[in-house]
Amino acid sequence: MFALFVLGMVFLFCPYWDIGTMCYKCGKYHLGLCYDVMSSCTLKHSQSCAAENIYILTRKGQSMYHYSRLSCMTNCEDINFLSFEKRTELICCKHSSYCNLPMGL
């Protein structure tokens, strides 16, 4: 009985059970597979989960999906970068754990 009381007190007063928001981390993610080591990171202050989608531009000016980079990023903002040969789309989220998995790619 005493052991149950102590266990209940640990759950009640120990705030360390919440590990925070987690994100996927992968250097090269494509069509549901990580071609690097898939791991995770925990968000720190001013960080968001990030999915950096890389597109190759065709001669006709169309974007063709190539791969994604998944990470935790500081001061992340949704943005599109465009160069002559590629387009990079940065998507940030922190509303739930593992929200940076690209859907539909």
Taking the domains of the chain in order of start, what are their residue ranges? 20-93
pTM: predicted TM-score of the whole model, two decimal places: 0.77
Quick: pLDDT tens for 17-27.
557 899 999 99
Across 1-105, the runs of DSSP E, i.e. the strands, are 22-30, 33-34, 39-42, 47-57, 63-74, 79-82, 86-93
pLDDT attached to residue 18: 53
* pLDDT tens-digit map of 45-74: 999 999 999 999 999 989 999 999 999 999
